[in-house]
Amino acid sequence: MILDGATGRLGAQQHLGASLLGIARAGGIVLDDGTRLVPEPLLLGRDAGRLAALAAAHGGLSWTTDRAAALSDPAFAVYFDACATGGRQGRLLQAVQAGKHVSTEKPAAASAAEARAIVAAAEARGLCHGIVQDKLFLPGMRKLGALCRSGFFGTIHAARLDYGFWVFGGRGRPAQRSSWNYRRDRGGGIVLDMFTHWHYLTEALIGPIRAVSCITATRTPRRVDEEGRSFDVDVEDQVLATLEIEGGALLQISNSWATRVRPGDPLQFQIDGAEGSAVAGAHECWIQPAAATPPMRWHAEDRALHGTDPGTTWQRLPDAEPVRNGYRAGWEGFLRHVTGGAPFSATLAEGARALDLIEACHRSARERRWIALPGRDAPA
């Protein structure tokens, strides 16, 4: 396994420490024929000092700063891109040309056309391809998915997805996100960064997305980078979008790096249906069936609600399965796909479809109108 961008936060913590080395510590993945697959990572990056320190911290792993040499080594069958988004297509195509199966952090590329070019190149050589879809494995989202599959909601009418927190600008208090997230030429912007997640969650939980209406804004127009230099932000850090789902349900998304979180979860996904509602965060999920929905009467002049407090009628779903690291679960699925041809849905083709949504969001924000996704009917 070639892990490019190994010293970044996701590369070091999630893909290396929690996933590849976690699989190795557990004795590998048991394949259908009874053999075990144990990943052997090669750390790839630009900073020799940081790579050497990371490799030593994990017992002396192999590392290199020479991408061409890594890709030419036949001992390594898989290339994974955990680098910043900018330049991703070039890196993945180089790996494909070297005969490597490829997988990547989201988004799949800078555009849907770029992503589909990678898919075409990989499939022309009979190579596997994948993309991270870690949010599907969050305990709260798995509970929400189980409700959807069980028919709990009946006809789904609407949904709401809120996610965000305050990202400091770097003056006085360091930013919690890398500065490249706020530069267009590095692949920054909250839509490109986050809507891959919202695409696969929406389609897995509710249904295919038909069209989008979107507006974006830049709330912190100037930031300070890791070297203490000020720079102008040329991408959005707040987005409000309405998605029309096949069947007529509407999903409202509020995503911001300029909002403050009250006690609770920065991620809230609520689904409302004829037979019940549910709201999930990263770990918890609460339901209110139709039979437990209280009658509501509200008077603006009165502090108190009249009738049953709706907060008392929500039921917490218990944990029904062990918590799985979403990154590790994705790796296990991809490696089974590469070695044994097991079905695998989180492909770069899905990453390209997510980029269709991202591009439609940007176009909607520019043109101030609904945009139908490619291959879908326009909204009614």
| Domains, in order of start, for the chain | 2-134+327-346 (3.40.50.720), 135-321+356-367 (3.30.360.10)
Phi/psi for 363 (5° steps) reads -65, -40
**Amino acid at the residue 53:** A
Cβ contact 214:365 at 8 Å: yes
Handedness of CA 289, 295, 301, 304 (dihedral sign): negative
Distance from C-alpha of 97 to C-alpha of 253, rounded to nearest angstrom = 38
pLDDT digits (tens, 9 = 90+) for 5-26: 999 999 999 999 999 999 999 9
User: Tokens 């069947």 — which residue?
Assistant: 247
Of all residues in the chain, the percent with pLDDT exceeding 70 is 96
pLDDT digits (tens, 9 = 90+) for 96-134: 999 999 999 999 999 999 999 999 999 999 999 999 999
Distance from C-alpha of 70 to C-alpha of 81, rounded to nearest angstrom = 13
Q: Average the pLDDT over 37-41 and give the result.
A: 96
* pLDDT value at residue 295: 84
User: Tokens 């102008």 — which residue?
Assistant: 232
* pLDDT value at residue 307: 57
Distance from C-alpha of 318 to C-alpha of 309, rounded to nearest angstrom = 22
The whole-model pTM stands at 0.94
Phi/psi for 193 (5° steps) reads -75, -40
301: which residues sit within 8 A by CB, 6+ positions away? none
Residue with the bigger pLDDT between 341 and 245: it is 245
Mean pLDDT, the chain, whole residue set: 95
* 3-state SS, residue 221: coil
Q: Average the pLDDT over 44-56 and give the result.
A: 98
- For residue 257, is pLDDT > 60? yes
How does strand 285-289 pair with strand 276-280? antiparallel
- For residue 379, is pLDDT > 50? no
- For residue 294, is pLDDT > 90? no
* pLDDT value at residue 90: 97
